[in-house]
Amino acid sequence: MLPQQTECRLNFDTEFPLAHGDALAQAKLKSLPQDFIVEETLAFPLSGKGEHLYLNIRKTHANTEWVSKQLARSLGVAQRDIGYAGLKDRHGVTSQWFSLPARTITSDALEKMQIDGVEICEVQTHDRKLRKGAIKHNRFTICLRDVDVELTSLQERITLIAQHGVPNYFDEQRFGHGRGNLTAALQMFARKFKPSRFQRGMYLSSARAWLFNQILARRVSEQNWNSALEGDVFWLEGTKRFFNADHIDETIQTRLAQGDIHPTGALWGEGELQSHGLVAALEQQVVSQWPDLAQGLVAARLTQDRRPLRVMPQAMRHEYDPVQHILTLSFALPAGSYATAVLRECMQLHSA
């Protein structure tokens, strides 16, 4: 399904609106690697037996793809045989699982392995290769520096976020430096260059994320991003399932308030929208402002999908040191959601 043709805006300077009011203060993010700690929890228990070796690796200032290449080189494994559940940013200290074929790796090789910024924390075995998306949640512990904030206001904002969640925006890293991935996506769709397989995936992902963020931004602006509209498709918390509601009744409203379900927005592609009525009209109208991106995704044969508009941080805690001006936040998010979506609802962030 293609949106109506309108002039495509090439200005990607849009700032996505906040849901809970202006930022309370400014803050420096990622001054040191240990200021941004991520711990991955898999969606399934490891059996302790099988043909696949699982390594829980703590990496510092290294991204997932680079670690995968180094593991392949150090242990003599084909990189295609290495599995991981999700990509982790290089800026920080992150713990995540990698799987490798156990038959080719000895304990002696593991003990001798030396990769800068990489530490093996745990070794397990399992009967299946680790696949992307097999994450229950990521636990974040984030230190924000140079924060001058009034404590009562901070506590009120944290409570508001914990109770009502935050808009589930894709992070800026999805769009590349200066949002250059979006310009590259337009050039790719116009066949101005032939991308590598990796580039193609990255640019398609950027274009899709941009359209989703635009839909979410409209609903945040209209203050209905976490409420039910006629035609909404709802995501069931803790699953990968969504459903259409025949009508918005008291049960739907109660489940929304409890965080059991969330409204969703379109991840653009070919096929019919799962939404209908008011929501489908809204999504079509928003996406019609970016026809080149939308049509490029359809031409690439991506299938229409949905993503929750709201994410609810779990086990959210905070500690503020008014002398050192340091705010430490910790919370868990499901796979695919970004810590910055939570942070920006409290602070105006600046990279150190």
Q: Catalytic annotation on 89?
A: yes
Please identify which of the residues 81, 89, 108, 305 carries the catalytic annotation: 89
3-class secondary structure for the chain?
A: CCCCCCCCCCCCCCCCCCCCCCCCEEEEECCCHHHEEEEEEECCCCCCCCCEEEEEEEEECCCHHHHHHHHHHHHCCCHHHCEECCCCCCCCEEEEEEEEEHHHCCHHHHHHCCCCCEEEEEEEEECCCCCCCCEEEEEEEEEEECCCCCHHHHHHHHHHHHHHCEECCCCHHHHCHHHHHHHHHHHHHCCCCCCCHHHHHHHHHHHHHHHHHHHHHHHHHCCCCCCCCCCCEEEECCCCCEEECCCCCHHHHHHHHHCCEEEEEEECCECCCCCCHHHHHHHHHHHCCCHHHHHHHHHCCCECEEEECEECCEEEEEEEECCCCEEEEEEEECCCCCHHHHHCCCEEEEEC
Active site (catalytic) residues: 89
